[in-house]
């Protein structure tokens, strides 16, 4: 696991050499996204920001998330404002802004819950998730086929890899404001002892989403042949 304990302005985790080129950056100051073929997924952990994209202005505060494709400008509105930007290169997503929840809507492994905040526009595209760990979670060790980038937005817990004959294992403390990345196929799990923990998790790919032959508009359309 790559972990940045107390990220400051422009601290980053660079995963541009993976299957799905992605860069995560902590931002406390004004910045400009000048790449037309990238999508930025963002989450505000402190303060607030004003985002200008063309003629549209978005105001995002603590607990807000967004997805913006292409070029935009972002400025902090308050002292000590902080957001985390996850930039997916070579992908054009949908522009969306919203607020996170305090408990997930979907069941996840070992008593955790999840909400899909930004769904894949098409089958296989990236997604952004809110992941909730109640107190007393001790997850089963597992892995993912692609990188997972995360931001702890509330509470505290631990991430760990159990040692075995092939690896030494590791343990990392997690608390609000820490940013991390799990590499492709990295065995891990999370646990909470005395506090809940909430994480924003970015997946660069998915096996979920609509396609040309499977989506709600098409599936709920019935052709009347006059019979």
**What CA–CA distance (Å, rounded) separates 149 from 182?**
6
Task: Flag whether 173 is in a domain.
Answer: yes
Strand partners, 83: 27, 44
Residue 134 lies in domain: 106-203
CATH assignment at residue 177? 2.60.120.10
Are 87 and 135 in the same domain? no
Q: Using one digit for the tens of pLDDT, what is the confidence trace for 20-48?
A: 999 999 999 999 998 889 999 999 999 99
Q: Find tokens 């909430």 and name the residue.
A: 198
Q: Does the pLDDT at position 18 exceed 90? A: yes
Residues 110 and 199 reside in one and the same domain? yes
Would you say residue 227 has pLDDT above 80? Answer: no
pTM score, two decimals?
Answer: 0.93
User: Is the Cα dihedral 116, 119, 124, 126 positive or negative?
Assistant: negative
- 112 and 40 both lie in a single domain: no
As a whole-number percent, the residues of the chain with pLDDT over 90 amount to 93
CA 135 – CA 93 distance, rounded (Å): 35
Cα–Cα distances in angstroms (integers) from residue 110 to residues 106, 134, 192, in the given order: 12, 10, 12
Secondary structure letter of residue 17 according to DSSP? T
């Amino acid at each position: 696991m790559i972990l940045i304990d107390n990220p400051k302005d422009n601290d980053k985790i660079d995963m541009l050499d993976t299957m799905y080129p992605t860069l995560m950056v902590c931002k406390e100051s004004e910045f400009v996204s000048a790449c037309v073929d990238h999508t930025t997924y963002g989450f505000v952990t402190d303060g607030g920001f004003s985002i200008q994209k063309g003629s549209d202005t978005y105001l995002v505060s603590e607990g807000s998330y967004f997805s913006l494709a292409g070029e935009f400008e972002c400025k902090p509105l308050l002292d000590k404002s902080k957001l985390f930007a996850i930039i997916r290169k070579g992908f054009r997503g949908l522009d969306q802004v919203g607020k996170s929840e305090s408990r997930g809507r979907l069941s996840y492994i070992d008593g955790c819950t999840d909400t899909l905040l930004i769904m894949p526009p098409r089958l296989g595209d990236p997604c952004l998730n809110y992941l909730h760990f109640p107190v007393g979670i001790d997850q089963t060790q597992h892995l993912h086929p692609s990188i997972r980038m995360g931001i702890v937005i509330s509470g505290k817990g631990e991430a760990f890899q159990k040692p075995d004959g092939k690896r030494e294992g590791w343990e990392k403390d997690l608390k609000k404001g820490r940013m991390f990345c799990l590499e492709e196929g990295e065995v891990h799990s999370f646990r909470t002892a005395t506090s809940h923990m909430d994480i924003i998790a970015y997946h660069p790919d998915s096996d979920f989403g609509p396609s040309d032959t499977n989506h709600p508009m098409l599936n709920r359309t019935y052709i009347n042949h006059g019979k």
